Amino acid sequence: MTHISLRQQHGLSLVELMVAMALSLLLMLGVMQIFLSSKQTYSTNIALSRVQESGRFALDFLARDIRNAGYKGECLGTPNNLLNEASSAYSSELFDLNVAIMGWDENVSPAPAAKITGIANRTPGTDMILVKHAAQASGATATGATPANSNTISVNTASSIPNDSIVIVADALGCDVFQTANNKNANSLTRQNQGTPGNKNPGHHEFSHAYGNSMEILTLQSALYYIGTGANNRPSLRRVTFNSGTPVNMELVEGIENIQIIYGLINAKRQVTEYKKAKDMSLAEWGDVGSVRLQILAAGADQNVVSATQKLMFDGASIDISDRRLGQVFTSTLGLRNRLQ
């Protein structure tokens, strides 16, 4: 006779335990997959936001100066240049507002003037652009009349214009360019035959005409943009300013690896008819530039962000972004104000 045990089984059988472990393992793998996927998405989004931020900042720096290139305030004609052209530090490329833009290609063609200094650690194969324009001063206005033979302009308050700044004074009759010898707390702007490049002898070179208290006071902004090595040993957009005669080099935006520039030439109707690279421009054509087209390549610092080497079209060719980093190309066409119809 067969006896049936009524004793209940306690715990799990070996098969049930193995099934439970397998299900737990699959669940853990799913959780890990979701975590890794989320982490990769997060890393990609962070890298993309940094690249886009770098590209937008670079475009903003360049666009602000390029759009204002050639601006001279009330001065409608050729400024009377009182700067010392005989100085070893003087260069028309740096201080002549009649040619507001000049550029150099990746092979530095045409060669920049020897007096354009301060360019350090430039990245080979990248373009450079020099932009000049006048900028509004701090709001200081002239007080009283300024005779043509004077070497001092009195202002109503501290000018806030630093010593050695290149200054432009203008009214409806004309304008003059000189280097001030006062500090920013002075209530006057004085031209002397000192500084870099300094001024012509005030005793022999007068203002173009006598000024009243309605004169406009501006400062020259002369800046060269290029790609060079930054503080973190990465390519960056850099700017060399010559506003006080001597070059001041500053890193602006990290992660800008290349910049390529072409220049739009205008006809008598102020319409752009063609675009040229700097190496194809004659010296006379720089005065006919009405627009500038920029291509900027920005890339992140983080490696292994994308699953495969990223390929981008830049300057008409396919390029690879190394180390599986994320890159992006930014393109913008900028018109020079008051140059286009």
Which residues face 297 on adjacent strands?
A: 258, 329
Q: Is the pLDDT of residue 324 over 80?
A: yes
CA distances from 22 to 17, 31, 174 (A): 9, 14, 88
Q: Which two tokens stand for residue 232?
A: 């973190």
Classify residue 151 as exposed, middle or buried by CB count within 10 Å of its CB (0-12, 13-18, 19+): buried
Q: What pLDDT does residue 23 have?
A: 79
Q: What are phi and psi of 147, to 5 degrees?
A: -65, 155
Helix, strand, coil percentages in the chain from 3-state DSSP, rounded to 5: 20, 35, 45
pLDDT digits (tens, 9 = 90+) for 111-141: 676 668 888 889 999 999 999 999 887 677 8
What lies within 8 Å, CB to CB, of 265 at 6+ separation is 272, 273, 274, 275, 276, 285, 288, 289, 290
pLDDT at 175: 93
The structure tokens listed for 178 are: 């000189």
Enumerate the H helices of 10-135 as residue ranges: 14-67, 92-95
Instruction: Judge residue 309's burial from the number of C-beta atoms within 10 Å of its C-beta, 0-12 exposed, 13-18 middle, 19 or more buried.
Output: exposed
CA distance 69 to 45: 36
Q: Residues 23-59: pLDDT tens digits? A: 778 888 877 777 666 666 767 778 888 999 999 999 9
> What average pLDDT score do residues 252-277 get?
95
How far, in Å, CA of 66 to CA of 101, rounded? 8
pTM of the predicted protein model: 0.86
Dihedral over alpha carbons 277, 282, 288, 294 (to 10 degrees) = 20
Mean pLDDT of the chain: 87
* pLDDT over 60 (residue 3): no
Tell me the one-letter amino acid at 66.
I
Residue-wise pLDDT for 198-250, tens only, equals 999 988 899 999 999 888 999 999 999 999 999 999 999 999 999 988 899 99
**Do residues 322 and 310 make contact, with C-beta atoms less than 8 angstroms apart?**
no
Neighbour count for residue 203 (Cβ, 10 Å): 9
pLDDT digits (tens, 9 = 90+) for 162-174: 889 999 999 989 9
Taking phi over 0 as left and psi of -120 to 50 as alpha, with beta for the rest, 195 belongs to: left
How many residues are there in the chain? 341
Give me the pLDDT at residue 157, please: 80
